[in-house]
Structure 1
Amino acid sequence: MHLSSFKKLTLSATVSLAAIAALPSQALAQDTGDSEAEETTGVGTIIVTAQRRDENVQDVPIAISAFNQEALEARGIANALEVAQFVPNLVGLNNTGLGTANAYYLRGIGNTESIATFDPPIGTYVDDIYLSRQNANNLSLFDVNRVEVLRGPQGTLFGRNTTGGAVNVYMNDPGDEVAGFAEIGYGSYDQIMGRASIDIPLADSFSIKVSGYFQDDDGYAINNLADDRTNENDGWGVRLGLRGELSDSVTWKGSYIRTFADSANVLNFDCDPTDPTNCDGRFVSTGFTEDSNLISPVFGPLLTGDKANFGLGNEATMDFVSSNLEVGIGDDWAVNIITGFVDIKQDFALDFADGRGLPSASNPIPPVTGFTFGGFTIANEGSHTQFTQEIKFTGSIADGLIDIVGGVFYFYEDNRTDFGDIFSLNLGPGGPPPDGFPLLLADRVIDNTAEAWAGYAQADVNLTDRLTVTAGIRYTDETKTFEIRDNRPRLGGGLCQAANQFGPSTCIDSENLVAANGRVIPREQSVDLFTPRFAINYQLDDILLFASATRGFKSGGWNARGTSPGELLPFGPETAWSYEAGFKSDLFGNLVRLNVTAFWLDVSDLQAPSAFIRNDGSLAFLTRNFADYENRGLEVELTTVPVDGLNLFASLGYQDDEYNIDQNAPALDEFGVQSVAAQQAACLSQLAAGLIPNVSGPDNAAACGVGIVSPDGSLAEPVRTPEFTIAFGGSYDIDLGDFTFRPFANANWRSDSEVGTSELTLFDQPVTGPSGTVFPANTLGLGDPIDPASGSFSEARWIVNGGITLAHTGGISVTAECRNCFDEEAVESALANFSYLNPPRTWIVRAKFDF
């Protein structure tokens, strides 16, 4: 769909809405109730709070994918990441290395960074409390009432860091009667799991809910080099929910959640690097294991503090406290005082190079070396706390003519990240044991804060019983600070050095933050801006027509993974306008629900994270506001209940996106960084001179295959934006007397996509540089992709899930299910030419008792 066509579509839809408004109208009743299906037949009603008040999902003029408890169970969704399989134009993945952290790309907007100077553009909320960090957001859905995925910017009612959308998780409230469930299960890789919950009324007006879960497995990746396993998914969680009816007009809900997750997403391969003929499973070959540490017999501790004792793995602990006090004022108004506190601790040590060198055109398949301290290892000790306070009011005036939502919001975040980077050099037989030199790239502590105030208001003016126009606005005032301190021994004169470094280097301290051009790097950023929203919707019998324009923004930050002061550059906020037009419909007596949305997303100053290999072979990270970004697309969701017991669904996402750059931008920005236009021109000139991208030495076309310029000199394809995403499936309840038999299955497909910003994939045809040097591989697409270092290209793939449930009317049920049932392999991410695969096939059998 071309941009001009989309603008015409949006304009046409808006004009149509205005024309329909002139027709005679009749009041339509609004559905009410809880999030469970209310109708005895047909598609059930789901109540959502996408506009910060209770509404039927079909009455909200926003693109929403909502899943209640029944839908989550019917699709076998066990954690927040698995929701992404069923939402059009949403790609979800674990961050590289971090099994506890989810990264979402929605309509092309996303971020895989978990360090605290970067913010995710897809906001995650639990009971209206914002989770600012991705470190522990792969929530196990053990006590969840519903999940809402809001597609597109949500800058008015939800605010900062929602240029792509929001994932809202709502927990179950305590019930009025003693009730609950208990569940146990056993599955692949010797997984054991358990879940339980009980509602306990303590008085007529006060009740509590106690819930918990645990899971443990051996890990799906085999390390035959070290006789070990990794990529386990272990953890536990407890929740105490409280609900009190303090008076006829005052209700209080509170919650405390504590979760612990021990889950890694370590680089693994479909064939064993130590025995390439063995392709039965997933394999790693690093010498850095769970029982390792970062203490050298030659140099002593390679890093300072507790992180020198970390072995391979990733652990995250989260404490979450929420409070929501609602006070009713008359019949039409309510005030909510919403308070949240979140504390996350994360410790990890991860080898991103499988115990060896990184793939390159000179060495496309590095030999297995099993370096004791890993090939490229980052050890991290992080502490992240946040406090949010919101006062929200909802109500209506003039006998329902105007519905209003508004409030004030305060956010404060304090982060401390102590982390270091070690790159192992292979110095040959004469090198120090064990055949590697662990070079310390950096060891530092970052302290950064964010403080934001906001006020917001939205008014829905019901011009007729069918026609509503909406206008809303939010004002945000935000300040961020950044401080850094080098942990290495001081030599004086601003120099630092550790025993395992070649010579002294400038300390990475706040006072030494100077860019390559001599400009001082600021340690504070402030932004204040307005994010408005405008919408119009018209109810035509069983069809809601709508169109909207919404603005959102994402905070700026610092390129904190740099290993020298000049790399710690700031990047500014990104802002987005989204234009939508579509309809929502319940047809044929509520037997069919069909929702369609067309969108145009226009992003300015897109924050794009990238990684490249320095001349010394080490890995460098860079995030900049590289370009503007546009995406046009279509989203279709279909749900139907053609006969009692049979539930079917399907969804389709289409998107067509591109980067846009200023061809007249100055060659260098204020910090001396080359503009993309200048870089692209330099790349094309280097290619014309016969230089080769992504090689070492004088033959290197250094401007190619870096940032968002691909190896052939074109602008790279935006990451994780497959042109098509498709999902479909269903379940069927078969009545067998006192038993119900339910088979269920679903499949999701996405087309080809890139997962690396520079489109780096190594191909097996040798190329010769101007100096006569022959490189055994290339990034120009010559030949076939090299495996396992296949790079950033992700082929189209199907993922199929399914299972069966046998339930008894007495409350006992048994479920057997599989995820990725056909063990399909797909590239989810890439880092320095290594590809990260999706999880393999898993199965589990669960027994549950409801009481």
Structure 2
Amino acid sequence: MGRRSLRLLLNLGAGTVALAASIPASAQITETPRTPDARPAENAASVQAEESSPADIVVTARRREETLIDVPISMSAISGDQLERQGAVDITALQDKTPNLTLQIARGSNSTLIAFSRGVGQQDPLWGFEPGIGLYIDDVYVARPQGAVLDIFDVERVEVLRGPQGTLYGRNTIGGAIKYVTKKLGHELSGTARVAYGSYDQLDLVGQIAVPITDSLSIGGAIARYKRDGYGRNLTTGVDQYDKDVLAARVSAEFSPNDDIFVRIAGDRTLDKSNPRHGTRLVGNGTDPRYAPTNSVYDTRAGIGDRNRVLAQGVSGTGEFRLSDAVTFKTITAYREGSTDTVIDFDNTALPTLDVPAYYQDNQFTQELQLLYEGERLQGVFGLYYLDATASGAFDTVVGLLNTTTLTSGRVKTKSYAAFGDFTYALTETLKLSAGLRYTKDDKTGTVFRRNYTGIRSPRFGNAAAVPGLIRTDYTNSRSFDQFTPRFSLSYEPRRDLNLYASWGKGFKSGGFDMRGDAVFTPTTVNGYDPEKITSYELGLKSAFLDRTLFVNLAGYYSRYKDQQVTVQVPNIAGGIASFVDNAGKADIYGLELETRLVPARWFSAQASLGYTHAKYKEFLTFIAGGTTPVDVANQRVFQNTPKFTVNGSFTASTDFAGGTLSVTPEVSLRSDYTLFEIPTPALDQDGYALVNASANWISGDGRYRVAMNLRNLTDARYRVGGYNFPGALFGNSIIGYYGPPRTATATFEVRF
């Protein structure tokens, strides 16, 4: 399919399509189609108990269907219904429910994802840098973080896999993987319509429909429209800050003539036209009032402009063919592309003291083939994977006090090939051995260009009169990276619903080229940087006690982390900003994750989670003060976006009310202190904080209607989720922060048929 045809298909479907589909967390991939008469569980207190026990939840963490308890991996599975009922705005809400996870919206954007798990991730969304947590939409890998802040509507469940997943998911899952799983259409007419109105004139409109054409063919689609005024104002331009303006859509067709064949063709499109988030100044610049902090952390004085547009879209085809009772063949073909036009005002003033207009563009083609085997004692999967991707972009770094601009542009092309296998063999009725191995080879070609200009902005961003100056970087180079990533685990199940396991595995994040690299200051930038590597050990317990009323998932882990890719950006004496990537030596990470759930009665459930991470550098080699010999600064560096403790607790109480079921869920989540960068910055680093949420849901007796009220951040806490640090008078002493949402209230009405 050509790119013109792709765009035509997506544009035609934009009004009738959706990003995902939803059913309860307990439902399996092959669930019964949803009909008005098939939803009795929706009108009882069991709805608020998430409709089935964790012992029955079916997941696909190992590329095959297994119960959550049987999977020897530390993971969480959260239903789309649970997220919707508790008022989750997007997938960043997962960090409040999942141990040792950080999901944040990137600095300056409304839809770029920053993800960390167990201390491992990637903060820099620049093209050329790979994420450390893999994101998958129905087994399709999303290579770039732009447009990856997925809204929660019509999603079946989200699986969060912690620790390296290099065997089954490959490169760039060194810290874990997040799987956004959508629902099959089924063969019954069904639909959902939802409207929500809340604080700051929030208005959400979501509609979904599935239509059977024949007994074997169904088509469906949905659309979601999100609008909200900003939490603050741009005091220079008058527009909203932290607003939301998103249209997301999906269309799909599914063909299943019998139980042995399933084919799905799907297209999705998300357009985000929210204003750029410029952040807020945390310090002044002497006595100049133009640089003074604003009264509200959601306000700004940024003068660079308010244009921001992020587009992410794709098509995919999935086929599952049962060749025999034991063997199934699966193929997943996908093409995705995205573009971003944005601006970042680093100084947060009306002046062009430190401004960055930018654009990003990417596309990717992926093909995966799987052969699944389900025998009496042996189960597993063998697969082949291919990715062909290009990410490119350009930005200006404007230093207004010097009347200079540095243009940075380039692209990185990646071709990745992999073969993998993972199998489980039952040694006895209670003892299982799992073994897996993946070989990955990446071929990368990077092109980087940097040039100085005299004037405010370069010709690329609208200043044709800018005077070209020194070319700082101009090269094209290629490198190949290959890696074996094995995994072994041993599971002991002495009784039903008790799984004791031990595992060992490896993961890696691909190397590459620094798109900001300055060959004048760091000539070795043309050589690129090496992959990250991790080796992880894990002991775990997954269990159900007291006649399945108490569930406990516990995991302890230890990881050896090598060659972590750390981006360092520092002001230089020539008036620009020098960037370089360090492979930062060695680190040890260990911790634990505990998730519990108690359901003592049909009308009451409670759950709690605890995450603990201890991450410490053992060696951190870097070049400082213009030196040519690397220096070990491990005692001066810390892990970013990694609180030592994450805690979550909630309970749900339900009762019959007005011909339906009324349930109330209070929730509290806590995060201990964390830093935003590897170098501690007191002006930016975030102290520990707690978020308190509450939700109330009424569901009619026939399950067709839902009325809800969701209150989030009840204490109106202020907490930083990102920042920039460019101190000094030349850069306007630009230390700016970005903040999570304030207190909000949202009322929702939903009807299903």
With the shorter chain as reference, the TM-score category is 0.7 to 0.9
Unaligned runs of 5+ in 1: 1-29, 291-310, 356-369, 426-436, 491-495, 512-522, 681-708, 762-789
Q: Are residues 1:261 and 2:182 paired? A: no
Please list, as runs of the form range in 1=range in 2, the aligned pairs for 1:325-340 lying within 5 A after superposition: 325-340=319-334
Residues 234-283 of structure 1, C-alpha deviations (whole Å, 9 max, x = no match): 11111112221134422112211111112433212699987989745621
- Secondary structure of 1:193's aligned partner: strand
Cross-structure match for 2:696: 804
Please list, as runs of the form range in 1=range in 2, the aligned pairs for 1:189-208 lying within 5 A after superposition: 189-208=200-219
Q: TM-score, normalised by structure 1?
A: 0.76
Q: 1:208 to 1:660 in 2, by over 3 A?
A: same
Q: Which amino acid aligns with 1:396?
A: E
Residues 144-178 of structure 1, C-alpha deviations (whole Å, 9 max, x = no match): 11100000000000001011000000112112211
Please list, as runs of the form range in 1=range in 2, the aligned pairs for 1:523-672 lying within 5 A after superposition: 523-541=477-495, 542-562=497-517, 566-567=521-522, 568-569=525-526, 570-615=528-573, 618-661=576-619
Q: Are residues 1:465 and 2:429 paired? A: yes
Which range moves more in the overlay, 80-89 or 836-845? 836-845
Cα distance in 2 for residues equivalent to 1:752 and 1:484: 37
Q: Which amino acid aligns with 1:286?
A: A
Cross-structure match for 1:736: 657
Q: Quote the sequence identity (%).
A: 27
Cross-structure match for 2:390: 414
Q: Are residues 1:72 and 2:26 paired? A: no
Please list, as runs of the form range in 1=range in 2, the aligned pairs for 1:361-380 lying within 5 A after superposition: 370-371=350-351, 374-380=352-358
Cα distance in 1 for residues equivalent to 2:692 and 2:406: 42
Q: 1:486 to 1:69 in 2, by over 3 A?
A: closer
- Secondary structure of 1:81's aligned partner: helix
Deviation at 1:673, TM superposition (A): 5.0
Please list, as runs of the form range in 1=range in 2, the aligned pairs for 1:168-567 lying within 5 A after superposition: 168-263=179-274, 264-268=276-280, 279=295, 282-290=298-306, 311=307, 314-355=308-349, 370-371=350-351, 374-397=352-375, 400-425=376-401, 438-442=403-407, 444-485=408-449, 504-506=469-471, 508-510=473-475, 523-541=477-495, 542-562=497-517, 566-567=521-522
Which range moves more in the overlay, 830-839 or 88-97? 830-839
Q: 1:164 to 1:199 in 2, by over 3 A?
A: same
Cα distance in 1 for residues equivalent to 2:311 and 2:146: 9
Deviation at 1:509, TM superposition (A): 2.1
Which range moves more in the overlay, 606-615 or 103-112? 606-615
Cα distance in 1 for residues equivalent to 2:317 and 2:158: 19
- Secondary structure of 2:83's aligned partner: helix
Cα distance in 2 for residues equivalent to 1:327 and 1:460: 22
Q: 1:563 to 1:34 in 2, by over 3 A?
A: same
Aligned equivalent of 1:818, options 711, 718, 722: 711
Q: 1:382 to 1:845 in 2, by over 3 A?
A: same
Cα distance in 2 for residues equivalent to 1:743 and 1:341: 42
Q: 1:199 to 1:108 in 2, by over 3 A?
A: same
Higher relative contact order (CA 8 A, sep 6+): 2
Cα distance in 2 for residues equivalent to 1:657 and 1:62: 20
Cα distance in 1 for residues equivalent to 2:574 and 2:96: 40
Q: TM-score, normalised by structure 2?
A: 0.86
Q: Are residues 1:106 and 2:117 paired? A: yes
Contact 2:85 2:697 in 1 (8 A): no
Q: 1:673 to 1:128 in 2, by over 3 A?
A: farther
Cα distance in 1 for residues equivalent to 2:355 and 2:63: 43
Residues 390-413 of structure 1, C-alpha deviations (whole Å, 9 max, x = no match): 11011134xx22212111111110
Q: Which amino acid aligns with 1:422?
A: V
Cα distance in 2 for residues equivalent to 1:169 and 1:648: 25
Cα distance in 2 for residues equivalent to 1:275 and 1:553: 43
Residues 719-757 of structure 1, C-alpha deviations (whole Å, 9 max, x = no match): 122111101113222211512212222111011121111
- Secondary structure of 2:230's aligned partner: coil
Deviation at 1:88, TM superposition (A): 0.6
Deviation at 1:336, TM superposition (A): 0.1
Q: Are residues 1:795 and 2:687 paired? A: yes
Please list, as runs of the form range in 1=range in 2, the aligned pairs for 1:768-783 lying within 5 A after superposition: none
Q: Which amino acid aligns with 1:266?
A: H
Cα distance in 2 for residues equivalent to 1:730 and 1:607: 40
Cα distance in 2 for residues equivalent to 1:380 and 1:277: 25
Cross-structure match for 1:676: 631
Cα distance in 2 for residues equivalent to 1:210 and 1:535: 40
- Secondary structure of 2:174's aligned partner: coil
- Secondary structure of 1:375's aligned partner: coil
Cα distance in 2 for residues equivalent to 1:140 and 1:543: 35
Q: 1:586 to 1:673 in 2, by over 3 A?
A: farther
Which structure is larger by alpha-carbon Rg, 1 or 2?
A: 1
Cα distance in 1 for residues equivalent to 2:382 and 2:208: 35
Between Structure 1 and Structure 2, how many residues are aligned? 688
Q: 1:94 to 1:35 in 2, by over 3 A?
A: farther
Cα distance in 2 for residues equivalent to 1:609 and 1:666: 11
C-alpha RMSD of the superposition: 2.9
Unaligned runs of 5+ in 2: 1-25, 33-40, 455-459, 726-734
Contact 2:453 2:468 in 1 (8 A): no
Contact 2:127 2:411 in 1 (8 A): no
Cross-structure match for 2:16: none
Contact 1:48 1:55 in 2 (8 A): yes
Deviation at 1:143, TM superposition (A): 2.0
Q: Which amino acid aligns with 1:553?
A: F
Q: 1:35 to 1:659 in 2, by over 3 A?
A: farther
Contact 1:439 1:500 in 2 (8 A): no
Q: 1:659 to 1:281 in 2, by over 3 A?
A: closer
Q: 1:728 to 1:411 in 2, by over 3 A?
A: same
Residues 107-160 of structure 1, C-alpha deviations (whole Å, 9 max, x = no match): 000111111210001000000000010011101122211100000000000001
- Secondary structure of 1:219's aligned partner: coil
Contact 1:41 1:644 in 2 (8 A): no
Cα distance in 2 for residues equivalent to 1:35 and 1:633: 36
Cα distance in 2 for residues equivalent to 1:756 and 1:281: 20
Cross-structure match for 1:684: none
Aligned equivalent of 2:669, options 741, 748, 755: 748
Q: 1:111 to 1:544 in 2, by over 3 A?
A: same
Contact 1:173 1:242 in 2 (8 A): no
Contact 2:377 2:425 in 1 (8 A): yes
Q: Which amino acid aligns with 2:299?
A: F
